[in-house]
Amino acid sequence: MIYRRMFGFPGWGVRSPFTELEQLRRQIGRMYDEYSGTPSLRGRAGVFPPVNVTENRENYYLRAELPGIRAADLDIQATGNTISLAGERKITGVEENARYHRREREAGKFSRVISLPDDIDTDQVKANMTDGILTVVVPKAEKAKPRQITVK
């Protein structure tokens, strides 16, 4: 085992002597991020709001979780084959000099651009907000809708 570790036997490629040190450095960095309370960008998805996109024959449906955001504070735009959601999430009821013991809810501006597989009918897009869930109904363009072809 010592022979294998020191000389890389049976190693077929040439290993750098610093490979194990680099792996150790990355592991220590991950441990530091986890135990220091510093949020690690690698551990989070980093997207807000979370969005589900589904479709049927006629429409695409976007459902986004937007708790605490008013419908009037949203900017929704449709172009070509994309839908853009933008707004600002504000955390209310917190004093400016408050000390946090735990902070999991982030505030700030957000923007998401969701690309759809086909072109959409931008004139017919409808949006509805109910209980913090935004539902956007996006009709497919006529050329993107499947057509039934009869065989003669």
Domain boundaries in the chain? 2-42, 45-96+103-144
Find, among 56, 54, 53, the residue nearest to 85 by Cα. 53
- Run of H or E residues at 92: none
Find, among 40, 37, 39, 62, the residue nearest to 51 by Cα. 62
Q: What is the pLDDT of residues 82-139, one digit of tens each?
A: 999 999 888 777 777 888 888 777 788 899 999 999 999 999 999 999 999 999 999 9
The answer as to CATH 2.60.40.790 being correct for domain 45-96+103-144 is yes
Pairing of strands 59-65, 51-55: antiparallel
Q: Is the pTM of this model over 0.85?
A: no
Find, among 51, 31, 48, 49, the residue nearest to 40 by Cα. 31
